[in-house]
Amino acid sequence: LTMASGYTMMDPICLVENQNNQLTVNPTALEILDKMSQPVVVVAIAGVYRTGKSYLMNRLAGQNHGFPLGSTVRSETKGIWMWCVPHPSKPNHTLVLLDTEGLGDVEKGDSKNDSWIFALAVLLSSMFVYNSMNTINHQALEQLHYVTELTKLIRAKSSPTSGEADDSAEFVSFFPDFVWVVRDFMLELKLDGHTITEDEYLENALKFVSGENSKIQHSKMPREYIRKFFPKRKCFTFERPTNNISLLQHMEGVSENQLESRFQVQTKNFCNYIFTAAKTKTLREGIIVTGNRESPLLQHVLLHFSSCDEAQKPGSWLVSTAVVENLAAMQKAANHFSEQMAQRVNFPTDTLQELLDLHTACEREAVAIFMEHSFKDDSQVFQKKLQGIIKKKKKNFLLKNEEESLKYCQAQLTQLSEPLMEGILRGTFSVPGGYILYSEEMNKVEQSYELVPRKGVKAMEVLQNFKQSQAATKESIMQADKTLTAGEKALKGNKNKTKKRESIRNMLEGIQKKNEQMLEEEKKIHEVNMKQLIEKMEMEKFQFMAEQEMILNLKRIEKENLQCLEEKYKKMIKKLQDELKVLEEKMKETKCTIL
């Protein structure tokens, strides 16, 4: 299975290793994620061990085998295994399948380790599948106690005093959608004599139940948390795939036509729903997750779990993820600036303005890339760091431009002045009228030099240095030229002084113009950066308002559901009261008859 990155993933690989109840990331799996630039749809499955989770994940991958199924009482999957395949219905997306080790494995003996596995699956996925057996009852809900521990492992608020209601509202914005799969389901989908759907079966199981019974109390909290944290829920029931025990023990080798037809249909419906409904993984503020973003997210969530100090800091895993996101965005933008400048700048540039224009264009692109990939950089810490990096790179480009111009101009002038230098060595100008010959030859050099294209910012300085290096030679030739009259010598001297002053003035004006250009360029860049920042803040504000609106609607729906339940119970109580009243009347009548 070849992904857009060019990496071929034929089999699953262990993503998170679980050894001695310690979770560590497999570096090879991280390398695979780092190569993936496509958006990812992440589907994770969790549930009690030996309940057939791996089979469903293989079906989502379009295979019968891949994730180990196992045929003994020992759990096969340890840690979290990953399989990346091209998404079958979303072009340019990668489907990332995460198969987790079974919860409640008696050989493990550490429930905290199970809680970490469960929380990791929730945080990494965009759709979370919980797999259980037979029916959704008090026992099944008791086994789902891991969902109640999510709030202890994760905090979305920055304040440690945030209440559960606030937490649930925050979690909804980045938690996955929830699918409950019930395997080997043998019951009839009926309630109070009426046929119900699978989703209605789930909602009825999750509704509020009163009572002091210990089983009811233990299953009450998971009900509440599932309703709070997973507002979008779906249920699938599966009949037993086959009654042939030997086939059940070796499902990886069983063809579809050997399975019960109802099970085949149920599996197909499940896969179609996942392919259609599972969303692209996003962080808060609508940041789309790609494979190379999933990698730092995983590492920092694990760091959060493994560090006691970190775990005591609410929101620390989100903060650390933001740091990694922004560091990566900053590096990506800085690399883009360097690469584009290297491609577009032809050293030396003809003018300083040409280089500044290229710099402005490349910086604008770099800032746009940072804005696209950054996450919650509200204080502009990382954007300012990026600007500092670009400013330093700009200084280096300016220096390189000057160095290249200096080297190029010196080489050109050396070549053009060869006839002049040879004439000096041969004594061509040490004759009467030699000064005139020398001046003519020098003018030829200057005129030819003036015609050389793209000399760059050091053109005038190199020419002035050359003329200065010829000053002593020029003076000696002038003294040796006995044919010139005193008046002619004075005239020539004044002309040379005037020309020298003009050259110096031109050079100073060039330096001043260069400084003015750079100041104007800095002003333009600052204006562009501020405009992009304002646009990004407006976009983030809009996304935040949309999230809050979604959460508010979900809370309204929950309130309406509770009000419906309350009204239903009121009617039941009224009915019971009426029945009691009728019974009391009958008893009175019977008593009177007896008397």
To the question of pTM greater than 0.85 for the whole model, the response is: no
pLDDT tens-digit readout, 408-447: 999 999 999 999 889 888 888 888 888 888 889 999 999 9
Contacts 24+ apart (CB under 8 A), 551-556: 551/169, 551/172, 551/173, 554/172, 554/231, 555/169
Phi, psi of 19, rounded to the nearest 5 degrees: -125, 125
pLDDT score of 505: 72
Segment 341-360 shows an average pLDDT of 90
| Of 134-138, 249-253, 482-486, minimum mean pLDDT range | 482-486
CA distance 17 to 407: 57
User: Residue 17: pLDDT above 60?
Assistant: yes
Confidence grade of residue 58 (pLDDT, cut at 50, 70, 90): confident
Torsional class of 594: left (φ above 0), alpha (ψ -120 to 50), beta (otherwise): alpha
Segment 199-210 shows an average pLDDT of 85
Confidence grade of residue 181 (pLDDT, cut at 50, 70, 90): very high
The string of DSSP letters for 308-353 reads: HHHHTSTTHHHHHHHHHHHHHHHHHHHHHHHHHHHHH--SSPSSHH
pLDDT tens-digit readout, 540-575: 777 777 777 777 777 777 777 777 767 777 877 887
Cα separations (Å) of 377 from 372, 389, 473?
11, 17, 64
CA distance 263 to 253: 16
pLDDT tens-digit readout, 520-545: 777 777 777 777 777 777 777 777 77
pLDDT score of 277: 94
**Hey, which of 56-60, 297-301, 302-306 has the most confident mean pLDDT?**
56-60
Confidence grade of residue 162 (pLDDT, cut at 50, 70, 90): very low
pLDDT score of 117: 85
**Structure letter (DSSP) for residue 430:** S
Segment 28-46 shows an average pLDDT of 88
Segment 312-329 shows an average pLDDT of 58
Which residue is listed with tokens 């976009």? 539
Confidence grade of residue 307 (pLDDT, cut at 50, 70, 90): low
- How would you class 279 by CB atoms within 10 Å of its CB: exposed for 0-12, middle for 13-18, buried for 19 or more? middle
User: Residue 74: pLDDT above 80?
Assistant: no
pLDDT score of 173: 67
Residue spans in the chain of domains classed CATH 1.20.58: 322-410
pLDDT score of 34: 82
User: Residue 335: pLDDT above 70?
Assistant: yes
Query: To the nearest 10°, the Cα dihedral for 487, 488, 493, 499?
Result: 130
pLDDT score of 163: 44
CATH domain 13-301 topology: Rossmann fold (3.40.50)
pLDDT score of 202: 92
Confidence grade of residue 589 (pLDDT, cut at 50, 70, 90): confident
pLDDT score of 278: 93
Confidence grade of residue 70 (pLDDT, cut at 50, 70, 90): very low
Provide CB contacts within 8 A for 125, sequence distance 6+. Answer: 42, 43, 44, 98, 176, 281
Segment 109-130 shows an average pLDDT of 82
Segment 358-383 shows an average pLDDT of 84
Q: What percent of the chain has pLDDT over 70?
A: 78
Which residue is listed with tokens 């070796």? 250
CA distance 176 to 282: 9
Confidence grade of residue 210 (pLDDT, cut at 50, 70, 90): low
CB count, 10 Å around CB of 155?
A: 23
CATH domain 428-539 topology: 1.20.1000
Instruction: Give the DSSP H or E segment for 545.
Output: helix 486-594
C-beta separation of 540 from 322 below 8 A: no
Look over the chain and give the mean of its residue pLDDT values, rounded to a whole number: 79
User: Residue 312: pLDDT above 50?
Assistant: no
Higher pLDDT, 299 or 354: 354
The single-letter code of the amino acid at 263 is F
Phi, psi of 411, rounded to the nearest 5 degrees: -65, -45
C-beta separation of 69 from 252 below 8 A: yes
Query: Could you tell me the two tokens for 581?
Result: 């009243």
pLDDT score of 545: 78
| Of 109-113, 156-160, 266-270, 457-461, minimum mean pLDDT range | 156-160
Confidence grade of residue 304 (pLDDT, cut at 50, 70, 90): low
Higher pLDDT, 453 or 546: 453
Provide CB contacts within 8 A for 331, sequence distance 6+. Answer: none
Cα separations (Å) of 338 from 37, 135, 294, 391, 516?
20, 60, 26, 11, 25
Please name the residue ranges forming H helices in 50-153. Answer: 53-60, 111-124, 138-143, 150-153
pLDDT score of 72: 38
Residue spans in the chain of domains classed CATH 3.40.50.300: 13-301
Residue spans in the chain of domains classed CATH 1.20.1000.10: 428-539
Architecture category of domain 322-410 in CATH? Up-down Bundle (1.20)
CA distance 219 to 255: 38
C-beta separation of 35 from 55 below 8 A: no
pLDDT score of 286: 63
pLDDT score of 401: 92
Radius of gyration of the chain (CA): 39
Interstrand relation of 233-237 and 177-183 (parallel, antiparallel or unpaired): parallel
User: Residue 483: pLDDT above 80?
Assistant: no
